[in-house]
Amino acid sequence: MIRIDSVTKRYPDGTVAVDGLSLEIPDRSITVLVGPSGCGKTTTLRMINRMVEPSEGSILLDGADIRQQPVNTLRRSMGYVIQNAGLFQHRTIVDNIATVPRLLGWSKQRARARAAELMERVGLDSALAKRYPYQLSGGQQQRVGVARALAADPPVLLMDEPFSAVDPVVRKGLQDELLRIQDELGKTIVFVTHDIDEAVKLGTMVAVLRTGGRLAQYAPPAELLSAPADPFVEDFLGADRGIRRLSFFPSAALELETAPVVPVDADATRIAASASADVPLLLVTDPDGRPLGWGEPKDLTAGRIATERLLPYGRPFVHGTDSLRAALDCAVLSPTGWAVGVDGDGRVVGVVSQQSIGEAIRAAHTAAHTDESGAAHTDKRVDKRVDKRDDDVRAAG
């Protein structure tokens, strides 16, 4: 949908902010521009809505040069979200969100109804509608910024470090919310950040830029983590990229064991049958099948297991939904070295050892290396959006 074609930006003082950049930005997906401060991310983003004009090269939107349409028309097709939200301080929240619809000539009533709908979509309580921006937290203001950018339903969303000014917990909430909204709306989002973890989490495609505005690598996150193009990208990805890559492998591949799982009212025969040399500890569950903790068979009095003496089971992983990274994390945190797998309702499905997880990781790596399409099928988010687009095409046809 957006094609950046050999674009260079030289500022009047001679600074080359972007140097011969070419990128194909797929539609209905999140493309992240990431790199160290000053590598030309903001300049690139601003050239897409013509806040900055390229010195050389061109940018195409749906095949047409963006200079062919009036700049105001172009900008109304592109929502824009910046750090600290950039809200109008003298306007209420509802009027901030209604800004663009009002500019487009919508009636006040219709624009406010649209604003109310968007507040709900971005997770804002309608009670905040009449407040002013200074009466909101940083995270809430950022949600208003996203709602305002979406108000006129533009196909493109440009986001410049939108979540950088809020604390890590609020930030995670905003990221999750963006992914959820994107699943519903399927916008073409170009997202700037200096945070590689944010890039890997949000991006369908990630463009790593180096100082001087040159492209170092352009790839889906799983591919970036498995095959960094050069030492700069590798360094930028950080020391634990192998662990982070496991986020792209589903835990469904793990074979869970059910023998070492016993209900709290298990009798002596059951406890004796469950214990084995391989699994010296047993996982005890409550009558609903939820985990209580680990115990040694000899401490588990038949019919009356003393739950207060059980060892903690750590944080369980949701089998099939969570990734191999989550499963490994459970095993590492568990005092027994075994991870507990649960279903969506928190009921135990089975347990798995660090060793088995290690074997599944090796198998997943081997499969990804031998299968040319490995990167695509390990990035589920890509598939979901493609499916959605196909549905839209079918609906339209």
Residues that bind ligand ADP (CB under 6 A): 11, 13, 15, 17, 35, 37-43
* 80 strand-pairing partners: 158
Q: Outline where the chain has alpha helix (H).
A: 41-48, 71-76, 93-97, 99-103, 108-121, 138-150, 168-185, 196-202, 221-226, 231-237, 241-245, 268-274, 324-333, 354-370, 374-378, 380-396
Which residues are 282's β-sheet partners? 295
Q: How far is 300 from 294, CA to CA, in rounded Å?
A: 10
Q: What is the 8-class DSSP label of residue 312? A: P
Q: Minimum distance from CB of 15 to ligand ADP (Å)?
A: 4
Nearer to ligand ADP, 18 or 368 (CB): 18
Q: How far is the CB of 182 from ligand ADP (least distance, A)?
A: 22
* Smallest distance from ligand ADP to CB 213, Å: 6
Indicate the residue among 83 and 354 with the shorter CB distance to ligand ADP. 83
Shortest separation between residue 212's beta carbon and ligand ADP, angstroms = 9
Which residue's CB is nearer to ligand ADP, number 19 or number 177?
19
| Residues facing residue 339 across a β-bridge | 352
- State in angstroms the smallest separation of the CB of 41 from ligand ADP: 4
Closest distance to ligand ADP from the beta carbon of 335 (Å): 45
CB nearer to ligand ADP: give 31 or 96. 31
How many C-beta neighbours within 10 Å does residue 11 have?
Answer: 11
Beta carbons of 203 and 35 less than 8 angstroms apart: no
> With respect to ligand ADP, which residue has the nearer C-beta, 38 or 138?
38
Give DSSP secondary structure letters for 142-153: HHHHHHHHHTT-
CB closer to ligand ADP out of 34 and 327: 34
